Structure 1
């Protein structure tokens, strides 16, 4: 097993400090450790993640990282260091992904969320639907692995072309992340390569690494993944799966062009490979001009299609669908069953009631109108406050703005500094499976307008201070 000596040096130094420290002591910042050990932010984050997993330290959003408070009791020295040897090398870098799932304090300026905020969620529809579903006695019984037939039929119709997937080709999952995880397990054996766009969804990177896969990045431009690089990657690596978000890619917001979509399908067919199409923001099309899903152009089973409701309804609606045909579908059923058997019946019934209600379309229309307004507010505030210190493209869907920083401004250090000052943003490094091509931030424009304006002002001041 290859040892990262730089990571080891940082981790051992922190262990020594923790051993002699009182509980509650604040540890050195990411930036100070970077300077002291001449390492990257990612190395420091990995060291912190290791110590968090051992129960030695605890991150406190907006405050820093602290030696963990121990419960009162006998003063017994607990040694958990043996676990590192027993577990071996980590199969995923949990630092960035775990941080993205940590809830920031309610009084912070939050620009790093991945879902609609409460005021834009379909809360009323969900509450009404769930009350009705809870009374369905049969829904509490054991359900088919694939999910409720009526909900599967809705997902198959929603793709926009009934000839692509039938209800029998649909499997209901506990949210988009669970669908991605099951699909990777079904299609890619451990140790094998998987191609991904770069940058790409950090949850997919984390799931692939947790499954023991080799993540191979393929560069994008403003028109989507570059076909010549994708073709070369298939040939050079022998990969048989490509994970893609061709519509409103997270984090960049890029929409793959019509010409590129045809090319990607042809390349996958030539390589006899699968494309996992993660259509995460189909309901958050802010112009109404998004291309049809990649799957609608596939006739020979190369596209495995994933769509979730959590982004457009509410994060608590952990309902998604994965669609496939042939042997891929059979393997997905096995992977899905071994993961968590089936999605709770009342939740499936509530999801169906929400998307079938007359108010669902009104909810989507209102949410998209609010997102357009808030996107433009954030864009205007950044242009006024930051000027040409940052560059970005205005997205036509989704809820994220992808900022490029001056190359000498470290995104991880900047995000940590902002969090200590009550502004929560996402460092772009987390969305790159390999070395990033520059320094980036992902900002979510779904928040309240006052948060967006004040957050943009403070962020712009911090960037200018580093120039």
Structure 2
């Protein structure tokens, strides 16, 4: 919490209000300015805070008064149980990567890079310019700002292989973040009750989106080199599925990057099955020792529905993603997006476009790559040194995470609790499996704050593991 003059005034007035009778009039703004040696703007800010908290009420032209205290009573919402009935899809608990940790812990659970890795000055300047532009008061086109559509199309077009047609700007649909895009794609391309092939383990948000849509998940085992193409072919044949959700580059959580051979065989199967590959290129901006090569870059037959988000590489506050699809699939996704949210904030779109078209954006990405490498290596080295019983199958060539296999029999839930008690927050790997976990895992984020504490975190994990294996 940030302390300022208004917070000091709020605290002082709350003490005064605690002893004042209901309906008592607060001192005038002029009197409070003199009492607290603050500006009228600061005093007004403090009064607005108290109004928002329900402590006082403002009567224009009369003054500000202490609200009458209401007697607290328990709320009875039991009637809603009968009105709502049994939920079709039971909402899960808050996923570990979304938890906001206290300031005094070592946080290895998040799905986002630390703010010092992001182009903060670019973002602040872009948001200021966007707020002053027409985007602040006008409705953008339903599919997105044409300039931003063109940028997403050109980014994928730059990677297209010889003989493959580049996507057109009109193939792009802008979404308020990848989660919204996934939900819309799953509804439009797969449909409730129908099968969707999905890597296992995979991104927890995709599992959540599929469950909310009512899609029937068909897990495909996927390791450090991606899925076995034969497994994919058998699953398509067995289930009659018409879509496969995958992350071919720096998969979350494993860090896997498909080889050209695996990518080619999977694409052949998708085409032969008359199916779609839903490609989530979430880590496009997080290559470290390798550059991502989207599978969509080798497809112009409309088999790949491509999703790329800017939320992690630009700012968590700028939730912008682009979906690229062709043919009737694109029209269905667009129609679903319009029905769901009508359009995406023009201010956020303008800010995102401003950031990624600045020359400093490329500089920021190069700096990010340089920063991620030592963080990744430091965490991997700390685990090897202090947690020898944990196993990291491969140090990823990109992305934000290490996927750590724990000894058989580890009680992961207990381990997570013990680590948190000791001041280290980690994420149980169970959340990344669309079916039963195949073993105990942790997903550890090396892009978070305070990398210097990685050795301490590793020692804490080792101590928790030792207690876990005890009688």
The normalised TM-score by structure 1 is 0.81
Q: Which residue of 1 aligns with 2:103?
A: 106
1:450 aligns to 2:452 (yes or no): yes
Q: Which residue of 1 aligns with 2:121?
A: 124
Does the aligned pair in 2 maintain the 1:186–1:328 contact within 8 Å? yes
Which moves more between the two structures, 316-325 or 216-225?
Answer: 216-225
Per-residue CA distance 1:43-96 (angstroms, 9 max, x = gap): xxxxxxxxxxxxxxxxxxxxxxxxxxxx97343462537527733144145125
Alpha-carbon spacing, 1:281–1:389, altered in 2? closer, same or farther (3 Å): closer
Q: Which residue of 1 aligns with 2:85?
A: 87
Does the aligned pair in 2 maintain the 1:110–1:451 contact within 8 Å? no
Which moves more between the two structures, 72-81 or 146-155?
Answer: 72-81
Match of 2:140 among 132, 138, 143: 143
Q: Structure 2 matches for 1:401-440, cutoff 5 A?
A: 401-440=402-441
Does the aligned pair in 1 maintain the 2:242–2:274 contact within 8 Å? yes
1:258, 1:389 → 2: CA distance? 30
2:278, 2:260 → 1: CA distance? 18
- Report how far residue 132 of structure 1 moved: 0.9
Does the aligned pair in 2 maintain the 1:164–1:295 contact within 8 Å? no
Match of 2:131 among 130, 134, 138: 134
Per-residue CA distance 1:406-428 (angstroms, 9 max, x = gap): 11002222112222332111100
1:225, 1:96 → 2: CA distance? 28
2:370, 2:75 → 1: CA distance? 57
The normalised TM-score by structure 2 is 0.81
Does the aligned pair in 1 maintain the 2:390–2:404 contact within 8 Å? no
In structure 2, the residue corresponding to 1:387 is in which secondary structure? coil
Q: Which residue of 2 aligns with 1:195?
A: 197
2:75, 2:172 → 1: CA distance? 52
Does the aligned pair in 2 maintain the 1:96–1:430 contact within 8 Å? no
In structure 2, the residue corresponding to 1:331 is in which secondary structure? helix
- Report how far residue 193 of structure 1 moved: 1.1
Structure 2 unmatched ranges of 5 or more:
1-68
Does the aligned pair in 2 maintain the 1:116–1:314 contact within 8 Å? no
Runs of 4+ that moved beyond 6 A = none
Does the aligned pair in 1 maintain the 2:99–2:110 contact within 8 Å? no
Q: Structure 2 matches for 1:94-243, cutoff 5 A?
A: 94-95=92-93, 97=95, 99-159=96-156, 160-161=158-159, 163-243=165-245
Structure 1 unmatched ranges of 5 or more:
1-70
In structure 1, the residue corresponding to 2:244 is in which secondary structure? strand
Which moves more between the two structures, 450-459 or 235-244?
Answer: 450-459
1:73 aligns to 2:74 (yes or no): no
